[in-house]
Homo-oligomer: A and B are copies of this chain.
């Protein structure tokens, strides 16, 4: 199944063109965690099912995935799911509690690696592909669907620490004590992630994003040595599938050069990265996505518009920019402010030439 999506008949959707650094009528916009609790319509669905049930039920996942397209008019839908969903198929017992995810059987010793297997998404995560297919049906070509997965290092953080952590000290200890085993674990994560992303593309996703949410806890040399090789493996696999790959790394101002070397088509920048200077320096190799501080959406709409305008002036219409936040939306953000951001990106200079 393939979603046919064009903004204007006969042309590529804006976000696909922008990811390939081709000219667009206006820079497209979407937001990380746009299918989320800040939307009353999302909360209404969430009341009926727990988080994991929503991830596993294509009709529910598709419903909330499409909501921000209907409500806010963003230029892409990103599948509602969680980066830890593939870990279940790899042999981990994952629970989503109110205080965050918990893994009952984390990797703590070398022997624990024996039970970590590469998952084949088509057979072991069929509900993910079905959710993408259902999203495509509902969108009927309006905007493309973005598939996504966690990066191997970030998945390993949860697999080893067993849940969220302030300092990920168990993960970093395992890396320091068992570097070869750590690399093996990440390689299995990479194969699983590549399998999952390829299956999401078979379901209709037109581009994919890899989230290395915790990669920024590593210094550049370590990130290059440890986290980058499995990401490159995923990028190579997805290039063969033929879709653009976006790479997000959290807390990454020191990792931008290394991220460029991933081979990803687009980098999704943390809000602390200086997007204009990165565009200046690397804009001929990668597209850039971002990177407004999500907490700006707590401010008054006029300040949101000012900030969008300032970034638009710095980007100066150069191709290869996709509007987004530098991190995910938070549950208590006012929908009116989120809408103000989306609308500001459509006409940042207030010229009225809104698409």
Across-interface contacts of A98 in B (CB, < 8 A): none
Tell me whether A299 and B176 are in contact in the complex, defined as CB-CB below 8 angstroms, given that A293-B219, A332-B169 are known contacts: yes
Q: How far is the CB of A49 from chain B (nearest CB, A)?
A: 24
| Residue among A167, A218, A272, A298 facing the most chain B CB atoms (10 A cut-off) | A272
For this chain, the copies found in one complex come to 2
Across-interface contacts of A177 in B (CB, < 8 A): 298-299
Interface string of A36-48 (1 = CB under 8 A from B): 0000000000000
Across-interface contacts of A169 in B (CB, < 8 A): 295, 330, 332
Interface string of A299-336 (1 = CB under 8 A from B): 10001000000000000000000000001001010000
Q: How far is the CB of A3 from chain B (nearest CB, A)?
A: 33
Q: How far is the CB of A219 from chain B (nearest CB, A)?
A: 5
Interface residues on A, range: 20 to 34
Across-interface contacts of A303 in B (CB, < 8 A): 176
For A326, the closest partner residue in chain B by CB is B219
Q: How far is the CB of A77 from chain B (nearest CB, A)?
A: 24
Q: How far is the CB of A343 from chain B (nearest CB, A)?
A: 18
Q: Is A222 an interface residue (CB 8 A)?
A: yes
Tell me whether A173 and B254 are in contact in the complex, defined as CB-CB below 8 angstroms, given that A220-B274, A272-B219, A272-B220 are known contacts: no
Cα distance, A6 to B330, chains bound together (Å)? 53
Q: Is A73 an interface residue (CB 8 A)?
A: no
Contacting B at CB under 8 A, from A255-297, are: 271-274, 293, 295-296
Q: How far is the CB of A113 from chain B (nearest CB, A)?
A: 18
Cα distance, A176 to B307, chains bound together (Å)? 12
Tell me whether A330 and B272 are in contact in the complex, defined as CB-CB below 8 angstroms, given that A173-B298, A254-B253 are known contacts: no
Contacting B at CB under 8 A, from A137-175, are: 164, 166-167, 169, 172-173, 175
A295 touches B173 (CB 8 A): yes
Q: Is A229 an interface residue (CB 8 A)?
A: no
Q: Is A24 an interface residue (CB 8 A)?
A: no
Q: How far is the CB of A336 from chain B (nearest CB, A)?
A: 14
Interface string of A218-256 (1 = CB under 8 A from B): 111010000000000000000000000000000101100
B330 touches A176 (CB 8 A): no
Cα distance, A176 to B296, chains bound together (Å)? 6
Cα distance, A303 to B177, chains bound together (Å)? 10
List the 10 shortest-distance A-B pairs measured between CB atoms, nearest first.
A176-B298, A172-B295, A253-B254, A176-B299, A173-B298, A253-B253, A254-B272, A219-B272, A169-B330, A219-B271
Can you name 13 extra interface pairs (CB under 8 A) apart from A167-B327, A169-B295? A164-B166, A169-B330, A169-B332, A172-B295, A173-B295, A173-B332, A175-B295, A176-B303, A177-B298, A216-B251, A218-B272, A222-B293, A254-B272
